[in-house]
Structure 1
Amino acid sequence: MHRTRRILSLGLAAVITVLTVATAQAAVPEALSQDLTVNGKPVPVESVSDTPMQGIYEVRLKSGETFYSDADGSFFVVGDLFANREDGLVNLTQQARNGERNQRLAKLPEDERVIFRGAEEPKAVLRVFTDVTCPYCHKFHEEVPRLNAMGIAVEYLAFPRSGLGSAGARQMAQVWCSDNRQETFTAAMNGEAPTNAPDCDNPVADQYHLGLDLGVQGTPAIVLPDGRMIPGYVPAERLAGMLGLDTGKSG
């Protein structure tokens, strides 16, 4: 009887210990987000997440910066976190960025984009931050019919590279306010600045700020379906190859 009680007591103690440790570990991210300071000043933390490394947490600031910290914020590591796997190094930091990029873009209503797609259901969708005054954006737009023929839809988002007070921002506002966005957008890409579109509430400023948050530094910025972002002009065949699609000369 005494032996049974002793075993039960030990088992209960072990369960309590495990629960206490789990509770302490679960509380760490909240403590970091509330109490993190640098040079005696509180740091505006957006989120704290676990990593595969025990005792190391990913800290994302409201400014968009990401770094890694120990449990109490005594030590920081700035840079990308990699997993060393049998098939090679995997950039876990980049994977997290890609996932967040996809989630935020998926929240944008379809009617706030300028969409070009073929007659068939698309095999893949590219989201492209663009500027109608950007020469390489003009070159990319020439590839859109070829992309559509290969089953790749293109959804454009506005990113006036010279800022919201630029000519590009004003032209894109008119594109987004026009009755036929596709036609007006293509005309603008061909150098015909829109002049007769009415003023309206438009998403150009919001999309510009979103692009900044997601790391867009220039145009075109092409976001692949897995969230990876490709800076600059890329030919249609190469994009199709990156997507694992047939690059045959159809259409």
Structure 2
Amino acid sequence: MTDSPLRFSAALLAFCLTLPLAAQADDAERLAERLEVRGQSMPVASIRETPLEGFFEVHLESGETFYSDAAGEYFLVGDLYANGEQGLVNLTEQTRNSERAARLAEVPESERVVFRGTAETRAEVVVFTDTTCPYCRQFHEEVPRLNELGIEVHYLAFPRTGMNTQGARLLEQVWCADNPAEAMTTAKRGEGLENGTDCDNPVEAQYHLGLELGVQGTPAIVLPDGRLVPGYVPAERLAGMLGLDD
């Protein structure tokens, strides 16, 4: 028995709709293979489609983002905006936020220094920190109030002067301490730590992760949706940014 005209039409429509998607996927795959500068392949992390026909968003392993035509001959550097009814929407930043949140979700809690209070958790922020940073110390004074508001603070290490510095060593001591949270508070009071750094700590990995995610200084606060907020933010203001000011 043959299919009805209606079933045949539906199947044909589905096939036709699939063709552009498959073609775009093939274009993205070919672009990843041919992207190069002066004969050197580019370290591509991901390529995705954009609303601009024939152009793709390219995200490099270094954290940089740009746009390329399907042939890899023309590049656009900068943010892509959509002009919608509510005004301009930064599509590039939306992508950055989504990828930032996804990368941070991969960091296990065992590699974080977590401060949570007794109140019910309402939100969680990830903060790249450096114990030698004055503004990080100022932010740390807000942590008890943040916990009262139901906001967990998850610290990751970011030695702002780089590895092989005293700041990096202090962070390694924090992560190697028997009680990292207590050690974090001690170090941010400007007091020395007695333990060593001879443990399998994640400080260097987190430093490079921060660079990849766009962190340029400390503290760098990442909201649950992946938005990056640079610098010190008081507890009440941060609660408002999280929609918890009610």
Same-fold status (TM-score > 0.5): yes
Aligned length: 238
d(CA) in 1 for partners of 2:170, 2:214: 23
**What does residue 109 of structure 1 align with?**
108
* SS, match of residue 155 in structure 1: strand
Shift of the 55–149 alpha-carbon distance from structure 1 to 2, 3 Å rule, reads: same
8 Å CA contact retained: 1:126, 1:155:
yes
Pairing 1:183–2:210 present? no
**What does residue 88 of structure 1 align with?**
87
Pairing 1:142–2:141 present? yes
Aligned-pair distance for 1:13? 10
8 Å CA contact retained: 2:121, 2:152:
yes
8 Å CA contact retained: 1:150, 1:246:
no
Aligned-pair distance for 1:64? 2.2
After TM superposition, the structure 1 = structure 2 runs for residues 197-236 of structure 1, keeping only pairs within 5 Å, are: 197=196, 199-236=198-235
**What does residue 55 of structure 1 align with?**
54
Pairing 1:28–2:19 present? no
d(CA) in 1 for partners of 2:120, 2:156: 21
Shift of the 110–20 alpha-carbon distance from structure 1 to 2, 3 Å rule, reads: closer
* SS, match of residue 54 in structure 2: coil
8 Å CA contact retained: 1:175, 1:197:
no
Q: Which runs of 5+ in 1 are unaligned?
A: 1-11
* SS, match of residue 127 in structure 1: strand
Pairing 1:123–2:116 present? no
d(CA) in 1 for partners of 2:158, 2:125: 15
**What does residue 45 of structure 2 align with?**
46
Aligned-pair distance for 1:200? 0.9
Aligned-pair distance for 1:196? 2.9
Letter in 2 for 1:215: G
Greater radius of gyration (CA):
1
Aligned-pair distance for 1:39? 3.6
d(CA) in 2 for partners of 1:41, 1:174: 40
* SS, match of residue 208 in structure 2: helix
d(CA) in 2 for partners of 1:193, 1:220: 21
Aligned-pair distance for 1:214? 0.6
d(CA) in 1 for partners of 2:231, 2:242: 17
RMSD of equivalent CA atoms:
2.3
* SS, match of residue 222 in structure 1: strand
Aligned-pair distance for 1:166? 1.0
Q: Which runs of 5+ in 2 are unaligned?
A: 1-10
Aligned-pair distance for 1:89? 1.0
Pairing 1:77–2:56 present? no
**What does residue 9 of structure 1 align with?**
none
After the TM superposition, which of the residue ranges 223-232 and 34-43 deviates more from structure 2? 34-43
